[in-house]
Structure formats: structure tokens, C-alpha cells
Structure 1
Amino acid sequence: MTERLEADWMRREDLAALVRTLGRDNARYVGGAVRDSLLALPVKDIDMATLLRPEEVIARLSDAGIRHVPTGIEHGTVTAVLAGGPVEITTVRHDVSTDGRRATVAFASDWQEDAARRDFTINALYADPLDGTLFDYFGGKADLARRAVRFIGDAHQRIREDHLRILRYFRFQARFGSQPADPVAEQACRELAATLKGLSRERVGMETMNLLGLADPAPTIARMAELGVLPVILPEADPAALAALVARERAHGVAPDPVRRLAALLPADPALAEQIAARFRLSGAQKKRLALAAARDGEPGSPRALAFRLGVEAALDRLLIAGADVSELEGWTPPTFPLKGGQIVARGIGAGPEVARILRRVETLWIDEGFPAEARVHELLDAVIAEVRA
């Protein structure tokens, strides 16, 4: 019996127009969109494989008035910019040579040859763009049903082609895999873990953050440590701390966050946090947040006071890592301190450092009292000024 894929996104008119432009026999949906639809999961990105050469794809899209971008033309990828979202169209291909970081490819004319160069069986599922007929060359559908993440062919060879596949394996295992994991895949990852040192920091950082952003990466991170993979990319990590954080996030209904989880893995050392941020090529905002979380020292104190000083996001990081209650922050927005320096000068205090000291003192009292209304702020100001003049 022929198996078919049925998904709402396949009925998009802009996709139908794209298929007409390329020709039904020349294009198939492939990869994540097919895999996730079979699991009834939301589909974010849509990829197509095509028998057409990139120049022919570009010519047909141009003739049809479909906007397109040559996003990876050297590897045969052209992105069609559609109303419902972009679609990556890649010419079927096979690897000519690889060095674990980059591949030299040659265009092919056989769908199975294209499938054979992919990483995991569950990512090598193709679907006819019109009737949804599934094409499964390596048992991906059965693996998906039993939640097995397996490399296509020889696991060692797949990893030697692209060392990042080690981290991709663990990310897919965390997202889709059941336990126990595939022993062949794990053994290959263990034996080739050191090859991760040859990858760019940016690629390693991006893949690690994608893993940490999943629902519960803690068991997988712990397994990476056992297999000797985690020490290669993050020797400073404490997997047990991540498991505790994930449990607290769930208990408080807080969404997963990769930066917070990275902070939990690391010791409370701001300088080290900044080094890790640089190693993983994190953004400036992520680097600052990681350092703030690493500056935790002892009990975090009042949740709202912490949120006022650091911001709600940074306060949540520290509180959850520390195991403190975060319920006070639910739906709470830090107020604006209702006092300006000019109001202090108007009370007869000469402009200068004294005004700043009084302002900070009143703000501290205001925070300690739980952010009372403006009338109370002026009472606090009167008391502080009286102390200064005494």
C-alpha cells in the first residue's frame, strides 16, 4: 500500500504555483517538513529537492515572476521567496569530497543518491508535492515510528563527512529519540568526539544552543558527558545543574531558554561566562545576560528587587538557577522610580554629588518597602534630607 503525506501546508496556493513552475516530476518535498508532518508537529521550514540544475531553477523562477535568492548556489540551493514563507530548493547531489567541515558536491540525477548523502534516516524522507506519495529509501518512516535516530549507512563515515553531525545527532536524539539510544550512533560519536575541535566556534555554538533550547535536553547533555563529547565543546559544564533547572522551569511554567540553561551549566564566574560567550560567538545581549547570571552570589534576595535592578529576564535566570520562588514575577512589570534629581534640588539641596547620593538612598528605601506609591516616596525623601541636614 502506497503511503502518503497529508498536511495543511501542502495545500498552499503559492506552493502549488512553485510546483507548476518547477514541474511535478522535477521536485519533491524533503527533510524536516516531511518528518514533522508525519509526527503531527508544526512545520517551520519547507525544503524541496529537485532534479533541475540551479541555473534552470533560477530561469524558471524568473520566468514565473517568483522572487528568489541564490542562498547556497555553490551547493545547488536557491531560495524561492513566497507569500507563505521561503522555500529552499536544492538540486539533488552527491558528495565528491569532504574534510569534515566543508563538502565538494556534484549534481546528480537520482533521488536515492541524494538521500544517501543525508545524515539520518528520519531526515531522508521525500514526498510528492501533489499527492503526497512518500519515498523512503532507508527506513526512515519505521525509525520515526519507534523514535530511533540512526545515521544513514556507516555512522563513522557520515561523521567524517561533517563533524557537526555529532552534535546534530544529540540534538535530534533529544528532540525525537527514545531510550535506549542507537548504540552504533553513540559509539561513533564517542570515538570521533575529538573531531569537533576542528569546527568553527560559531557552528558549535549554534548547534549547542539549539540543543539547549529543546524541551528537555538534560538527559542528552548528561549522556554527552558520559560519552566524552561534552568535555570537548564545554569542559566547564555541570550536567546535574541543568537537570535541576529544567525541573524548576517546568514547575513554574517558564519557557525553555538556551541562554539560561547554558548559564546553569557553568560555574558562577562572570569572566568565564564571557569567555564561553566569545567561544560560542553569542550576541552582545546574550553575552551580557550570561555574565549577569554568572555573577550570582549566595541567596538572590527579593525577586522583585532583583528584577528591578537587573530586569525580569536576568532576575528569572538567577532565581531559577538558585532554586528560588519566581511566582512574585508572574505578570509583574517593574515600576519606574517616581523621583528625579530636580525634585531634590527643589528641596534646597545644591546640584552635585549629594543629589545623586540622596536619589540612590531614597530608591533603596523605596525598593526595600516594596515599591510604594509616589506619596510615600516623598515622605522617604523628606526623611533622608532631614538626616543629611542633621
Structure 2
Amino acid sequence: MRWRSLVPFSALALLPAAAQSAYTLEQVYAGDTFYDGWEFWGNRDNLTNGATYYVTKGESAGVAYTNEAGNAIIRVDNRSELAPNGLRNSVRMTTARTFDLGRLIVMDALHLPYGCATWPAFWAHAVSWPSGGEIDFFEGVNLQETNQVAMHTVSGCYADNATQATGELTFNNCDHGVDANRGCTFVDPRNGSYGADFAAGGGGVYAAELASDGISVWFFPRADIPADLRSEAATPDPTTWGLPMASYPSTTCNINQYFAPQQLTINIALCGDWAGQPGVFSPTCGMGTCADYVKDPSNFDNAYFEISSIRVFSGGLNTRAATAVAAASGIIGAIGGQASAVSAAERGRTAVGGQGGVAGAVGAAAAAAGLAALALLQRAL
């Protein structure tokens, strides 16, 4: 959800153009240049303790490439036999740049990895983790049938049990130190959001809005992709898309406080701390261990992403800069005699959520309240 300013037109005219604009295309990862701007891990999976070696860019020819259709293929090696306890080649790649609030991140994919032992994800995280937060747009393990979205933060951030979303909130504490870093999690009720059903439906689009008043994630099957996401020239407007699948409003998690600029990461882990747990692996994948399953390359024929594009749009109203400008515009209104002391104080409490100044009475008391609002904003950011 994006805020709508209540600043009088005369004050709004003073805002920078970027703070008033709709989303416009900022970055595209697609086609032969898809892999430009990504850094490859080049190490074993020492983060989730999986049976995976994440290749360097120089080693990636068989697992990260562009197919004849011009789509990016990011996959697990499905050719090599492994010795016992061997590590299977896979990919973990992260954008060199970061993206701050006020961004819309859109992945258009035709196929997503699935199958026993696999643990794929498309996610965003701060350079300094966990203090800068993490949001998982797409993630699952083994033969999971639907996608789950999760946020992971330091202590104090929660999902709102009363929030409006189409997904089911299954855990509301985002603290990475609680319940083995489960995160505050929404589960998509639609089978088409994951696995074989996703591919059979022609794939679809995941879209995530990172805004100061909340983080929201949508999934659109191929047949239901909004018109304003179907071309690179489009200017998306999430307010027209209906309820998101997952929604994390800043009312229960101050997004400005808990989320620093984010890098994007795509990876496919194998086994490890989640997919490889006997209580997780065995119920859907049968007898034997996850490590034994990894030895046979044919088990990973479906363990790949096929991505048409990842696009990042910027200029949304809900940026860190825009909230500061909104508070400043409220002070301008107060000094000009257009805001009351009461509404200016209220503006100070809600500025981080994006509210600006409102018309009211005149005088020094209003101006002083506006200055107090700015002080509150500075402490919150």
C-alpha cells in the first residue's frame, strides 16, 4: 500500500519530481546481459550446511547460461555422478548493487526449481545481516506444493495478524533468533505458485514492493499478469493489483528501522538445515537420507530457474527520502499558517508512514509543532 499525501498543492509543488513520480524502470536483468552485475559465491554452502558447491562465474558454464529463447537458466548440475558425501555444483549469485526502499522488484519466470533435496530461493537481504533485514519472495523445499514468503530481522519486528493478504500467515515473529530463524511467514494457497504446477501454467510473475509503510509480495500466474507489468515500458501501479499474497505493514514492523538497502540473491541449495532434516525430507521423499539422494544427477532434472527477466522499478512515493520531504513539507505548511499544532504533532507521529502536513490554524505554535515532527522523524530514520 502506498501513501497519498494530504499536503496542500502549494506545498506539494515544492517536492522534488522523484518524490511525486510513479514507478519507472531502473534496472533490467534479461537476455544475454542477464548475468552482468551479479557476483557468484564461489564456495561450498557454508551458510545452510548443504550438499552444494556454489560455482564461481568462471565455473558456471553448465549451470548458469542463457538458452535459445533468451531466458536465463540457473540450475543444479544434473550430469555428474558424485562420490559419497560429495558436493553437487549449483549457483548462488547476488547483485553487486543494492536497492533501497521505494523499489518494486519483479521476476518473470517460466520455471522454478523443485524436487527432493532442493531448496531454491529468490530473496533480498542487507549487506549487514541480520541487522539490515531479509525478505524471501520465493522459497521452498523438496516436494512443497506452494510458495512461502518470509521476513527475517533482528528482535522487535512482527507481521500483523489482522493484515489484509491472500496468503495464510503461519508465524508472526520475524526475529531470526526465534524458532530456528523461521521468520514471519505467509504461505500461498495456490498450487500454481510453486513446483510442477507453476511450470505447467506457463510460469508467472513475482512482484515485491519495498516501501517505508510496508513490504508486500504478489504472485500472478501467467494468465493473470496485470497489464502494467507486461512490458518494460510500463509504469506499474501496485494499488490496482488487489490484495498481495503477503503483507508486512510498518505498523508492527518499522520498515525504515529494520530494513537497510537490499541486495538480490538467487540460489539453489541442496539438503542442509531445512530441506535435509529427516522430519522434512522423509515425509515427502521417502526412505533414505537427503545426502544419498544428492548422488544421482537425474534427481535434479527439474532443479532449475528459467527466468525471462528481473526488473527493478524506482520512484515510488514510499522512499526514505520521500518521507523526509513529506515531513519538511508539513513544516512549510505550518510556517505558512496552514497547519494546526494538533495536526502537526500528529504528523510527527505518522511521518515515517508517509503522511504529510494538513491544513489548519496559524501561528508560532504550529511552526514549533512542525519542527518537533521533523525531530521525531530524524530519530525514527
**So what's the TM-score if we normalise by structure 1?**
0.27
Larger-gyration structure (1/2): 1
> More helix by proportion, 1 or 2?
1
Instruction: Work out which structure has the larger RCO, using CA pairs closer than 8 Å and 6 or more positions apart in sequence.
Output: 2
> More strand by proportion, 1 or 2?
2
